[in-house]
Amino acid sequence: MSSFSIFCADCHTYLPPSHVVCPVCAKPRPANERLTAPGETLWQTPVGGPVNGIPLIAGGLLLAGWGTRHGAGGVSAIDITNGQERWVFKSNQSIEGAISIDSGQVFCVSNGIIGGGAQLHCLDMWSGNYFWPPQTLPGGVWCPPLVDDVRIYTATDNGVILAFNRLDGKPIPDWHIQVGKGRIWAALSRHGVVIVNKDGQVQILNILRPKNSLRQIAILPNTITLHSLSLVDDNLYAGTDDGEVYRVDLARCKVRRLAEKLVRVTAAPTIEGKVLFVGAFTRHVHALDWESGREIWKSEAFEHSISSAVWTAGGLIFACANGGEVSALETEKGQVGWRFNTKGGVQLLSAPLVHEGVIYFGSDQGQVYAIPWHGGDYAWAAQWLEKHSQPEQAAEHSIFAAHFNHSADERNQAYHQAARLWEQTGKPESAAQMWEELAQYAEAAKAYCSAAEHQRGRNNLKSAEYYFRAARLYWRLEDSAAEENSMKKACELGKWPKLRIVEKNAPALEQHKPGLRTIRVHNAGFSEAPKLAFTIGGSLKEQLKFEVHTPLEKDKYFDLSFELVPTKPHSYLEIEVAYQDKSGQHDLQVCLVSEIDAVQAPHIIHIGDAVKSKVKIINPDNQPVEFYMGDMVCTELELQFGETSNANDKREVKH
């Protein structure tokens, strides 16, 4: 129910609401994708005057008929993607009632300022040009035209039914049927043309043999409001100025009162399943059993009365109240999900039309509105979608709720709700991408591991990919154990190579003396490792780079020896090997940092034979010293380390 996506249509990368271009494939969002802020319309387009009847949609166009207070009118065609007016048909008469659309043709009727000289119009839906010249009608017309495959029917305000040829608009002979006096309402049914006049007479006219075929079905109270009539299958529903609702069974010619005391009913009832929804001057929407009239629930009170029909779609009821208020109610119990105000002062709104997740309606202020089905309340939408078993869309709307929320805690709560929903649908990788975009790397790595386990046994290559992504995140987090574990699983599941670098020998080295250090590169994985790229560096060696073009087969190894000349007690040698899996799609690497301790070379002191001598050796830097002495007789040897001498350092050697 949302046309705004948080995943790139091409590469399926997570695309936050604030991004207009995919960070991976650089594809921009479609031009018609727009995320509305709470309380904002998708678009609002002015037309030439107050909108009459419910707007209609066909071929990506919204068509609305309108009239001015000075008698002029027209039809506006609006692009539903952006609210731009594509064409406008203007008449010197006001367009009355709803328009009709069929097979690329737009049918409407217009009235003169006094009600006479009405006209029937047939327009091309794509250009607004005439299909055929307008046809003049006797008297005024209020009821919208009725269209079948070959004819157009109109009901005039002086009680006459007329028919015209659909191809050329010419009147059909013998189709000038007087069915009553004054204004009438008409609709097509399988029985023929259903007609209701202002006195409450319900009649049916046979369209195949119109002459002398008019028969009366029932009589309703003369307080009936013609705007409140609606036909559903074989049932006609009607409201009255006294607040009553009636059902007429056309097949059985039976009338039943379903409700009373609704103050006044001028909105056509809407039926879904076995429930009838009625908006009334009680300022409530009433849900009634379609057969018995038992009230199932009554909504919260609106600020103003409801004088237009409600619309049901996907378990929701959309109602427009006088005063510019639009609301969504849940069909099950009538709870109000959200309220939206047009902010244009007191306005009388048309009945709403819901199409592909967007609500369209017009006003008597000459405006046509488009708002999203959730009214901008994304948190409510997420809860509603989850409740109605649409967890993926619920997760997306949780992201939208977070995007517009100013509270850090509530944003975080919304993100966790989205992650939970994606986990439930078996798509934790979506949560992982979200967490990674938010720089929550621990959560992202955890979600990638969950995604990998979900794919294990189903798609091991995909599982390996997710473990690989987790390993890279654990590397950022400096969690070497988790990184190693994830990479190990990635190699196992993807049958990738996996290199290890170990020290083969590490002899003790002396400072300023050359020595050898040997390392072994071993492929302990499941396939050959091509394109080995070595980088050797550290404190002991200038950076050296080279490549080995011969692939290292699995379970094979080779040794590398380096001649080193340490100059300090503690140094290190860093060896990094970059390589790829056989497909070349995954860049892998392994690194070894070898700590090198080097002792200082000792000072060599040779002392020959000595008799009754004193030998004093001072070593202020505490450097290692090796003594080689000959025969010593009655000779005192004193060793002094550091800056001061110590009695314990004195040694007397007698021989």
Instruction: Please give the domain boundaries of the chain with CATH numbers for all domains.
Output: 379-493 (1.25.40.10), 499-599 (2.60.40.10), 603-653 (no CATH)
DSSP helix/strand/coil, 468: helix
Q: What is d(CA 312, CA 269) in angstroms, rounded to the nearest whole number?
A: 11
Q: Residue 113: what pLDDT?
A: 65
Distance, in Å, from the CA atom of 245 to the CA atom of 277, rounded to the nearest integer, reads 11
Q: CB under 8 Å to 439, separation ≥6 — which residues?
A: none
What pLDDT score does 565 carry? 85
Alpha-carbon distance 199 to 220, whole Å?
8
> Could you please report the per-residue DSSP string of 336-405?
EEEEEE--SSS-PBPPPEEETTEEEEEBTTSEEEEEETTTT-HHHHHHHHHHTT-HHHHHHHHHHHHHH-
CA 382 and chain centroid, separation: 11
Return the structure tokens found at 68: 């001015």
How distant, in Å, are the alpha carbons of 64, 92, 157, 270 from that of 143?
A: 15, 19, 8, 19
User: 139 or 491, which is more confident?
Assistant: 491
- Please compute the mean of the pLDDT values over residues 208-226 and round it to a whole number: 90
Residue 653's SS3 state is strand
Distance CA 309, CA 319 (A): 7
pLDDT at 651: 42
Q: Which of 43-52, 69-78, 258-267, 336-345 has the lowest mean pLDDT?
A: 336-345
The predicted model gives 541-547 an average pLDDT of 86
User: Does 1 have pLDDT greater than 70?
Assistant: no
Look up residue 180 and give its two tokens. 């009553």
> What's the one-letter identity of residue 567?
T
Q: What is the pTM of this model?
A: 0.80
Please give the full DSSP string across 583-616, using - where no structure is assigned: TS--EEEEEEEEEEEEEPPPEEEEE--EES-EEE
Q: Is 614 exposed, middle or buried (0-12, 13-18, 19+ CB in 10 A)?
A: exposed
Backbone angles phi, psi at 647, to 5 degrees: -60, -35
Residue with more model confidence, 209 or 277: 277
- Each residue of 569-587: pLDDT tens digit? 888 889 999 999 988 888 9
Whether pLDDT at 654 is above 70: no
Tokens of 332: 């099950």
Quote the CA–CA distance of 532 and 557 in Å, as a whole number: 12
Identity of the amino acid at 67:
G
Q: Is the pLDDT of residue 640 over 80?
A: no
Q: Are 403 and 418 in contact (CB under 8 A)?
A: no
* Banded pLDDT at 271 (limits 50, 70, 90): very high
Phi, psi of 324 (to 5 degrees): 85, 20
- What proportion of the chain, given as a percentage, has pLDDT over 70? 95
What is the reported pLDDT for 133? 95
**pLDDT for res 621:** 67
Say which residues have a Cβ less than 8 Å from residue 164's Cβ, sequence separation at least 6: 120, 135, 151, 152, 153, 154, 170, 171, 172
Query: How many angstroms separate the CA atoms of 521 and 498, rounded?
Result: 10
Predicted local distance difference test score (pLDDT) of residue 114: 59
Whether residue 607 has pLDDT greater than 90: no
